[in-house]
C-alpha cells in the first residue's frame, strides 16, 4: 500500500508543480498549450479552455508547454516567476500538508527542482540571471554554469546522503 501511495502522491505533487508554472505563466501573459504528466506518447487527455491535459506513457516527469519566445521576451522578474512557479506551489503544498507523505514529497520535489541541474527550474533561473547580468546571451558562460551547476548538484546530493546515512 505504501508503494501505491508513494506513486500516487508523487504524480499529484508533479501536477501541483506544473500547475504552479501554468498559473505563473498566465499571470505573466505567457501562453501555454499543454500540461503533461509523463513523457512519450499520450495515453489519455482532455482539453480545458486553451490547455491540453495529458497522461503520457512513461511516468518519468511532467511538463508545461510554454511559448518560449514570449517567455524570453518577458521581463526578468516574470521569467523567474514562471520558472519558480512550480517550486512555490510545491513549497505551499508541502507546508499545508506538513508531516504527511504528500507534504514531504512536495518539499523534496521543490528542493530537487532548485538544484542547478540542466533543464531543471534552478538551472533555468540561473541562465536567466546570467543573461541579465551579462546583458546578452553567452554560450560559454551558460556552458560553464551548466557544468558547475551539475557538479555542485552532485556535491549537494553527496552531502545529503552522507548526513542521512
For 126, the domain range is 115-165
Closest of 55, 81, 62 to residue 119, by C-alpha: 62
Domain check: are 14 and 52 in the same one? Answer: yes
108 in any annotated domain = no
Please give the chain's pLDDT, 165 residues, in tens. Answer: 889 999 999 999 999 999 999 999 999 999 999 999 999 999 999 999 999 999 999 988 999 999 999 999 999 999 999 999 999 999 999 999 999 999 999 999 999 999 999 999 999 999 999 999 999 999 999 999 999 999 999 999 999 999 988
Domain check: are 84 and 126 in the same one? Answer: no
Domain check: are 48 and 125 in the same one? Answer: no
Establish whether 34 is a catalytic residue: no
Residues 109 and 14 sit within 8 Å (Cβ to Cβ): yes
Domain check: are 95 and 125 in the same one? Answer: no
Domain check: are 120 and 98 in the same one? Answer: no
Domain check: are 88 and 7 in the same one? Answer: yes
Q: Exposed/middle/buried for 163, CB within 10 Å: 0-12, 13-18, 19+?
A: exposed
Domain check: are 69 and 24 in the same one? Answer: yes
Pull the grid cell for residue 78. 516574470
Domain check: are 88 and 60 in the same one? Answer: yes
DSSP 125-154: HHHHHHHHHHTS--HHHHHHHHHHHHHHHH
Q: Which of 81, 102, 123 is where one domain is finished?
A: 102
**Predicted confidence (pLDDT) per residue in 79-109, tens digit:** 999 999 999 999 999 999 999 999 999 999 9
Number of structural domains in the chain: 2
98 in any annotated domain = yes
The single residue of 18, 62, 93, 117 carrying the catalytic annotation is 18
Domain check: are 79 and 149 in the same one? Answer: no
107 in any annotated domain = no
Domain check: are 155 and 85 in the same one? Answer: no
Q: Backbone phi, then psi, for 57, in 5-degree steps? A: -70, -40
pTM score of the predicted model: 0.93
Both ends of the chain: CA-CA distance in Å? 25
Domain check: are 58 and 6 in the same one? Answer: yes
62 in any annotated domain = yes
Domain check: are 6 and 70 in the same one? Answer: yes
Amino acid at each position: 500500500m505504501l508503494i501505491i501511495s508513494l506513486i500516487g502522491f508523487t504524480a499529484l505533487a508533479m501536477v501541483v508543480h506544473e500547475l504552479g508554472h501554468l498559473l505563473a505563466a498566465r499571470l505573466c501573459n505567457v501562453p501555454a498549450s499543454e500540461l503533461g504528466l509523463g513523457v512519450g506518447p499520450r495515453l489519455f487527455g482532455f482539453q480545458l479552455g486553451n490547455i491540453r491535459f495529458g497522461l503520457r506513457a512513461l511516468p518519468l516527469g511532467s511538463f508545461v508547454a510554454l511559448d518560449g519566445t514570449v517567455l524570453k521576451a518577458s521581463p526578468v522578474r516574470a521569467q523567474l516567476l514562471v520558472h519558480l512557479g512550480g517550486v512555490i506551489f510545491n513549497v505551499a503544498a508541502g507546508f499545508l500538508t506538513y508531516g504527511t507523505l504528500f507534504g514531504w514529497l512536495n518539499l523534496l520535489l521543490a528542493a530537487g527542482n532548485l538544484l542547478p541541474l540542466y533543464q531543471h527550474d534552478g538551472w533555468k533561473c540561473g541562465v536567466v540571471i546570467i543573461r541579465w547580468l551579462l546583458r546578452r546571451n553567452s554560450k560559454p558562460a551558460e556552458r560553464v554554469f551548466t557544468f558547475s551547476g551539475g557538479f555542485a548538484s552532485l556535491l549537494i546530493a553527496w552531502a545529503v546522503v552522507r548526513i542521512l546515512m
